[in-house]
Structure 1
C-alpha cells in the first residue's frame, strides 16, 4: 500500500481520535455533545420537531458494529506509513532492504506472540482468522485413512462459518464423523457434553473462545485441560476474543489459535495462526498454500510487511490497554443494555439479552425485541447508529444459525447486535440509547 494512501487514511483517523478524547473529557457532565458540522453551500436544515430516528446527511452515524470490524487505530496507521516510507523490501530478499523488512516482520511477530502468551516461533502470519481456521482443518485432513476407525472431530453448532463449512467438507469429501455440540439458551457449550462426546478416534476439538454474534464466552480453559489429558488436538477460534479477554496459550493448552488483526483496531487483510509443535508438524506436511516456502515453509506467499507492522502495533496497544479496555467495555456495554431496557420498561416493548449475562464479553450487546419487525427497526436505526442484526459473515439474505441454536425466533423478535470498541465513548452510547428507544417507540405507534 502506498504511503500517500496511508496518509490519506491517517488524517480523518487522527481527527476522530481528537473527538474521542474531547468526548471522554466531557463525559462526566452526562450531556451529549453534538459537534457543529459545516454544511455545503446551499444546504440548509429546517427545524421540524425533534425526531431522534432521523439524522442530517452531513452527520456521521455512531459506529457500533465492532464485532464485524473495528476502526483502525491512528497509531497503527502511522506505524504502517512510517515503515512504508523507510523500506520497500521483500523480507525474503538478501539485500539491505530485505533485511530491514525481515527485522520489522520479526518485531511484529514478537508483539503478536506477547499478546497471546506464545513464543514468536509459534506465530504464522496469514490473511486472517478465516484462512487460519481453514488451515487447521486442511492439516488435520492428512490423518484420513491412517487409522482403522472413521476419524472423528468435535465442534459446536454456533461456530463461525469458516469452521462449520470446513467440518462439512471433511464429512462430505473424506467421510469424517463430526459431532456438533448443542448450546443452551445461554449460548454456552456444556463441558460434560463434550467429555461424553469424546471417543478413542477423536482427533480434533474446535471451540471458539467468544461467539461473534452474541458475545458468549466458552469454557475453553476447561476444555483445553480435557483435550490435553486425552491426547486430542485442540483448536480455538479467538478472533472475537483478542484484545477483549486475557489469553495465554500456555494456560489455554491449545494446539492452534486463530486471530484477525482488524478485530482489535489493526489493519484488514492480516491475521495469524499460533500453533503448537504438533500442529506445526501437521501443517508442514499439508500446508494450505504452497509455492514459495515463506513462513518457514508453513504458508507460502510474500508476507505484506506493512500490514504485519500494523498488526504488531495493534497487538502492542491491545496488550498495554487490555485492563482499561475490559473495564470500559464492561461499563459501557451494561450501561447501553440497561439504558434501553429502562426506557422500555413502561410497557413499550420487551427487550432481552441474547446469551448469558455472566459468561460474555460486554463489548458485544446482542438483544431481541419482541413484537417488532427486525428489518423495519434496523432501517429506522441505521441513519443514526451503524449496527447489525447478526454476523456480517452470514450475508444479507441468510438466517442466523447461532440465534436458531439458542432458540430465538427471528420471525417474532427483532434482533440487533451492537459492537462497542476501545474507541466507543459514553456520549456515543447515549446517542445510541436515544436512537434505539425512539425507533422502537415510533414503530409501536405505526
Structure 2
C-alpha cells in the first residue's frame, strides 16, 4: 500500500479522495492555488503545498510544481481525481519516470480512449456496439457528404480529441453539413489543439447510459451496473440515477458483461466508465472515461462499494473486491449536481456563502467541500456540491430527494436548487420518461417530446 498520496485536485473530489485515504491509513498531501488556501481539503490534509496562482494552468495543471510538491513531502503516489490531469497520459508517464505511482489506468489506455476515433475502433474490435459513423476523421469535402448520406441525416459532428460538448454540432440536412464541420473543427482546435472531427448518426431521443467498470490490470474486470445520465444541458450532465428506469435485469447483465469482457481483454487497470446512447433497445458506444466520474456516488449507493478506496487499493497492486456474481444492485439512487449558477440563465454565481445547511437523514449524502463563509472562486467549475439520495425503490428515492432538496440551504449566491425542486415534481421525471434532449426542451419552455 502507498505511504503518502498527493491529491492533485481541488473541491469536493479532493475531499472525497482524502476521506478514502484516511480510511486506508494513508497520509495525504493537499495541493492548492492561492485562491484555495482556505479550502476544506487543505484544512484536513496531513500536509499542504501551494502550487501557484489561481489560473489552473499555473497551479493544478502545473506539472513541475506538482512534482516538486511530491519531492518536498515525500509522496509516493498521486491521485488526479477527475478533470485537470486525470486523463493526461503524458502526466502518468512523467510520474512513472520519477518513480511515482499514478492512481489511474495505464497511460496507453488513457491515450487510446482519449482519442474518440481510436476509442470507437477499439470498442468495435472488442465487440462493443457502436454508433454508425465514419471510421476516422473527416474533412469538409465530398467524402464527408458521402459518409453523411450513407449514415442518414441528421448526423452529429464530434471532436476526436475532446468532450463536454465542445466541438460538437448537429447537421440536420445536407445544407447544414459544411457549416457544422467547419464550426466543430474550429471549436475543437481552440479547445483541444486538434481540429480532427468525425461523424456519427444523430439519434432522435436516446438515453445516455454508462457502465461502471473496475479492472485489476491483470485480466480481471467486473462491472457495477449502470447509471442513467440522460438529463443534460449543453451535453453536461445535471442529474444522474441508477439503475436506469428503462433497463431490466437481463439487458443490464448483457451489456455489463459485454463491457467487462472487453476490459478483461484490454487488461484495464482501475475504475472506468463506458458510455452509451440507448434507443429502441439498442446500445451504441460513444466514449470511455478513464477516471473516476463525478457521478460515481450513485454506483456506491446501490452497490455498497467504495469506488475511490478500491481505486487506490487496485493501483497499489490489490485484487478486485469481489467476483461478478457477488455484485448486487440494491435499491435506487439519484444524484443532483448543485452548481453556483443562476437556475434560469445558468450564469455563474461565484461569491461568499452566507448560510449553509446540508440536508440529512437516512439515505441522504452530500459530497461537498463548502462551508458557511466559504467563497466560491470564479476561476474553476461552479460545483457547490452533489446531493445523493438512496431508497429501496425509485419512488422512495424520489420522495427522499424532494424532502432533501427542500431542506437544503445555500444562501449568499445563486444556485441550481430551484431547478431541481421543480424537476423532482415533473410528471415525466417521476415516470422516468425522459431522454438526452428533454431538459433543454423543458428549459426552453417547450413541451418535451
Work out whether the TM-score is over 0.5.
no
TM range (shorter): under 0.3
**Which gives a bigger RCO, structure 1 or 2 (Cα 8 Å, sep 6+)?**
1
TM-score (norm 2): 0.27
Q: Which structure has more strand as a fraction of its residues?
A: 2
